């Protein structure tokens, strides 16, 4: 499996560390209520198909990435810098 | 006060010469991490040109030459190697002294790229990785910075604490490549 780092290009999976669902970038407001916080902290989909996760390019440039990939085919569809994605949400 | 003697990271380990390949320690001088402040990348590049005669490198690139070089060092930062950073840089970037924190070696000779092919997952042969190209990558599980400094020469950096391992792994790979060359 290879991940295309926006800085470094296609790199072997061994350079990356997996963190978890990219929902971590969408922190609810402090007063968003129990349900929103429950979803943010605990509730995760486990799709057979396309998923969006945070990966850390630890053995490379040190950037956090949002990687969209297919868990069935192992295809890596898109990668973006988490910083860019976060700015888009703001 | 104790009388302490400064030692370089690879003191007692290098230089090394096997076959046609040489591995030497580089005395880098000052090393400073330069992280541009938000929106100040172009201004920083201009200040770097004025103060040290080289632009801020694009990702995967290095600028300058032996003695005064800036290498891209990862997401949103570069490493100024050689001169002490000019105070004018501080208004555009966060500067962090990294001197003595990295082991810096130079691998040179025919087959240098073949040696690195045994240690890293990247294609560092000349058509792919030209002079002035740099990469952050994995070198036998160590976080390394590799820069091509000549047609058959690379500068390789790892954390100072890993200097022994770096020299050991490079030596083993050099011996293997040399043996195969017969």
**Average pLDDT of each block of 10 consecutive residues along chain B (182 residues)?**
90 95 96 96 96 96 94 96 96 96 97 96 93 96 96 97 97 96 76
> Which residues have CB under 8 Å from B29's CB, separation 6+?
B67, B81, B82, B83, B99
Q: Please tell me whether residues B118 and B175 are part of one structural domain.
A: yes
Please report, for chain A, the start and end positions of each structural domain, with discontinuous segments joined by +.
2-89
B3, part of any domain: no
**Cβ-Cβ contacts under 8 Å, B121 against chain A:** 11-12, 14-15
Q: Mark whether B85 and B109 lie in a shared domain.
A: no
- The pLDDT score that the predictor gives to residue B111 is 93
Residue B5 lies in a domain: no
Asked if residue B107 and residue B51 are part of one domain, the reply reads no
Average pLDDT over residues A7-27: 93
Domain membership of residue B175 (yes or no) is yes
Which of B74, B97, B120 represents a domain boundary (last residue)?
B97
Q: Are residues B109 and B145 in the same domain?
A: yes
Confidence bin at A88 (pLDDT 50/70/90): confident
Which chain A residues are within 8 Å of B135, Cβ to Cβ? 8
Architecture of domain A2-89: 2-Layer Sandwich (3.30)
Per-residue model confidence (pLDDT) at position B82:
96
User: For chain A, what percentages of helix, strand and coil (3-state, to nearest 5) are there?
Assistant: 25, 35, 40
Task: Look at residue A67 in the predicted model and tell me its pLDDT.
Answer: 96
| Sign of the torsion angle spanned by Cα atoms A71, A74, A78, A80 | positive
Same domain membership, residue B55 and residue B75: yes
* Domain match, B104 and B82 both: no
Residue B162: per-residue pLDDT: 97
**Residue B73 within any structural domain of the chain:** yes
Query: Are B20 and B90 contained in the same domain?
Result: no
Instruction: Give me the domain span that covers residue B165.
Output: 16-27+100-181
Taking all residues of chain A, what is their mean pLDDT, rounded to a whole number? 94
Tell me: do B58 and B128 sit in the same domain: no
User: What stretch of H or E contains B65?
Assistant: strand B62-65
Residues B60 and B123 in one domain: no
- Condensed to tens digits (0 to 9), the pLDDT of residues A53-70 reads 999 999 999 999 999 999
Q: Tally the domains of chain B.
A: 2
Out of B41, B67, B97, a domain closes at B97
CB spacing of B121 vs A60 below 8 angstroms: no
Angstrom distances, CA of residue A16 to CA of A5, A53, A88, B137: 10, 12, 24, 10
Taking CA B55 as the corner, what is the angle to CA B52 and CA B57, rounded to the nearest 5 degrees? 125
Q: Which among A3, A13, A15 is the top mutation candidate for probing chain B, defined by the most B β-carbons within 10 Å of its own β-carbon? A: A15
Q: Residue B72's pLDDT is what?
A: 97
pLDDT at site B77: 95
Residue B9 forms part of a structural domain: no
Note the pLDDT tens digit of each residue in A29-43.
999 999 999 999 999
pLDDT at B89: 96
**Helix, strand, or coil (residue B76):** coil
Containing B137, the helix (H) or strand (E) segment is strand B134-139
CATH number at residue B40: 3.30.70
Which of A15, A59, A63 lies closest to B75 in CB terms? A63
Which pLDDT score, from 0 to 100, does residue B2 have? 86
Question: What's residue B53's pLDDT?
Answer: 95
CATH of the domain at B131: 3.30.1360.120
- Cβ contact B121:A14 at 8 Å: yes
Indicate the average pLDDT of chain B. Answer: 95
Whether residue B10 lies inside any domain: the answer is: no
Q: Given an 8 Å threshold on Cβ–Cβ distance, is A58 in contact with B60?
A: no
């Amino acid at each position: 499996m290879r991940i295309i780092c926006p800085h470094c290009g296609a790199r072997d999976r061994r350079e990356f560390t997996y963190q978890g669902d990219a929902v971590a970038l969408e922190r609810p407001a402090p007063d968003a209520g129990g349900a929103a916080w429950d979803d943010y902290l605990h509730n995760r989909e486990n799709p057979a198909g396309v998923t969006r996760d945070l990966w850390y390019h630890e053995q490379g440039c040190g950037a956090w990435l949002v990687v969209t990939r297919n868990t069935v085919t192992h295809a890596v569809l898109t990668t973006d810098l988490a910083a860019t994605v976060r700015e888009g949400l703001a | 006060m104790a009388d302490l003697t400064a030692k370089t990271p690879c003191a007692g380990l290098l230089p090394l010469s096997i076959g046609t390949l040489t591995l030497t320690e580089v005395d880098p001088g000052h090393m400073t991490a330069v992280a541009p402040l938000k929106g100040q990348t172009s201004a920083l590049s201009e200040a770097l040109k004025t103060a040290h005669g080289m632009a801020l490198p694009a990702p995967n690139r290095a600028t300058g030459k032996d003695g005064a070089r800036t290498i891209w060092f990862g997401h949103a930062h570069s490493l100024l190697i050689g001169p002490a950073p000019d105070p004018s840089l501080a208004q555009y970037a966060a500067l962090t002294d990294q001197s003595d924190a990295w082991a810096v070696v130079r691998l040179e000779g025919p087959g240098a790229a073949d040696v690195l092919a045994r240690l890293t997952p990247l294609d560092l042969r000349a058509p792919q990785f030209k002079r002035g190209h740099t990469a952050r990558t994995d070198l036998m599980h160590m976080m390394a910075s590799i820069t091509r400094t000549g047609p058959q020469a690379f500068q390789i950096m790892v954390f100072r604490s890993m200097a022994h391992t770096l020299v050991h792994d490079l030596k083993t790979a050099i011996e293997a490549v040399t043996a195969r060359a017969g």
